[in-house]
Amino acid sequence: MVAKTIFIFCFECDEASQSDRLYISKLIDYFYGQRPDVRPVYLDGKSKYNAVRVISQIKKHQRIIQMQYSDVSIKTIYFIDRDAVVGKENHQNKTELDKIVSYCNANCYELVLFVKEIEDIIGISNRENKVQASKDFILIAEQKLVSLDQNKLSKDSPNDVGESNILCILDHYFERIK
């Protein structure tokens, strides 16, 4: 029997907005027809990827999950915006991203990258993003998903605006329906 998989998703956004969580859950539901068991961690900015608070939350989730289930697989996935097209990023952004990649590799965490931002992937404008708390936001996100280019979401190394490796990573855990 396959062990139950529970995910710890580390979102770059803060807990108040939860925008990244909403986009990613809609994307998973659309492409995989899944609603995985997820424990969220909100970074409140990518520079806090290894903050004591974040590490504590991940470890707390891991302990609780292991206490609740005897046969469980825990997968931690970070969702990070690149903020710049490859080759056009400043030294600080590149250095920070390199550190995040190293950190995820050292801890056996998956890393999903969005170029430049997750909103660029889904095609949400700044105006549409401001209505995220309303029901209109859910409808807008769902409508945008239909026109997504799966090839742009399946890049091993996303480099250009609107590209991501999200489907490459999630394909390890779910079977695509679209």
Q: Which helix or strand (DSSP H or E) is residue 42 part of? A: strand 38-42
4-170: which CATH architecture? Answer: 3-Layer(aba) Sandwich (3.40)
The pLDDT assigned to 133 comes to 47
This prediction has a pTM of: 0.88
Integer Cα distance of 80 and 10 in angstroms: 9
The pLDDT assigned to 99 comes to 95
Q: Which of 123, 152, 117 is nearest to 140 (CA)?
A: 123
Domain ranges (residues) in the chain: 4-170
pLDDT in tens, 88-126: 667 778 889 999 999 999 999 999 998 887 777 777 655
Q: Which residues contact 40 (CB under 8 A, 6 or more apart)?
A: 8, 9, 11, 21
Integer Cα distance of 112 and 173 in angstroms: 14
> Could you tell me the maximum CA-CA distance found in the chain, to the nearest angstrom?
48
